[in-house]
Amino acid sequence: MSTSPHDFREAYQASAIETTLPPGNDNEIEVELASPWARMGAYLINSLLTVVVMLPIIIAMISTILSGDYNAALGLEDSQFLVRLGLSMAASLLLGLILLVWQIVWMVQRGQSIGKRLLGIKVIGLNGENPGFVGTVLLREVVYYLIVLVITFILGAILGVVMAAGGAPDAIEQYNYVFDLLGYLPTIICTVMLFRSQALRRTLQDYLAKTLVVKA
């Protein structure tokens, strides 16, 4: 089968990355890797869904500002705004819970978030099977983001000490700027990794969970 940058197909030995299969073990599967654009599109869709969850609160704030009740919008006095805000927060919490459960169920059962489902891609293990809860949710999402969070705070703390020791007058402003950049660094690295076809377009999350993202 011929390959090209636009239609990359990878026939690989499912367990070859971890172990050498014994002779005669016919465990080869053929998959078509998800394109970088499909994976980024799925990420954007999931991010937009998070924004949708926040819509009740956003609408409550906008309606209050448009009504001219700026003190209420700023929370400076008791008003109906507090009631609207409370109801909006409850609605957002309910929507967020529904979205979270929906995402987890699909990721566990199908290896797909809502964004991946809409764009026709899914997560599989290196053995070609559905990674299940451990692979798609626990390792790829929870553990990965906890690691990113811990590393970011450690680097941020070290950076803060160094900058404070330097005595720069705008050290706090510089620190906030660099700290924000540290938070985006894993996303930038993963985006670059999406274009490495020879590495099966595996990101940091894929290496951690031993997964691939392929066309469904």
Contact 114, 46 (CB under 8 A): yes
First to last CA, the chain: 20
According to the model, what pLDDT value does residue 206 have?
96
Average pLDDT, the chain: 80
According to the model, what pLDDT value does residue 62 have?
80
Pairing type for strands 121-125 and 211-215 reads antiparallel
pLDDT, tens digit, 9 for 90 and up, residues 10-64: 444 433 333 333 444 455 667 899 999 999 999 999 999 999 999 888 887 787 7
Q: Please give the full DSSP string across 71-91, using - where no structure is assigned.
A: HHHTT-S-SHHHHHHHHHHHH
According to the model, what pLDDT value does residue 57 have?
84
User: Exposed, middle or buried: residue 19 (CB in 10 Å: 0-12, 13-18, 19+)?
Assistant: exposed
Contact 121, 42 (CB under 8 A): yes
According to the model, what pLDDT value does residue 125 have?
94
According to the model, what pLDDT value does residue 59 have?
83
According to the model, what pLDDT value does residue 134 have?
93
Q: Where are the alpha helices (DSSP H) in 22-113?
A: 36-53, 55-66, 70-73, 80-110
CB neighbours of 143 closer than 8 A, spacing ≥ 6? 208
Residue 58's CB is within 10 A of a number of other CB atoms, namely: 13
Which residues of the chain have a pLDDT value below 50? 1-25, 76
